[in-house]
Amino acid sequence: MNKTNFKQALADQLADLNKDQQPERDLWPGIELALSSEASEPPRVALGKKMYLVAATVAMFGLIGWLSVNQPAVSLTGDDLVASLSAQHLKQKMLYWSGFKINLH
């Protein structure tokens, strides 16, 4: 079907449509209700939910800030640092190798 045939077929089908089709019921009461509720003052419930969200956000950022500031300062230098890192490495190595169990029998 080429472009002209398609356009002609579409125009014929549109001409055959029933142009006087009406809805089964009157739709205006629902439209008026939607428009009037849109124009009225927003409910207080939505405002209360927003306030809880703001309070929770402030509390979360406050907790994160407090925890980041109150970190204990550990400063190891020299031999203490080497000993601490060696102990940590040995502990990790033992945990790694404990996952591999060799059955010799």
What is residue 59's three-state secondary structure? helix
Indicate the length of the chain as a whole number. 105
pLDDT over 80 at 84, yes or no: yes
Q: In this structure, which amino acid lies at residue 71? A: Q
pLDDT over 60 at 23, yes or no: yes
Those residues whose C-beta lies under 8 Å from the C-beta of residue 18, and which sit 6 or more positions away, are none
Pair 84, 76: CB distance under 8 Å: yes
pLDDT in tens, 25-48: 888 888 888 887 666 656 666 677
* C-alpha span between 69 and 5 (Å, rounded): 76
pLDDT over 60 at 7, yes or no: yes
pLDDT in tens, 43-67: 666 677 888 899 999 999 999 998 8
* C-alpha span between 2 and 88 (Å, rounded): 78
- What is the model's pLDDT at position 77? 81
Query: So where are the chain's domains?
Result: 25-69
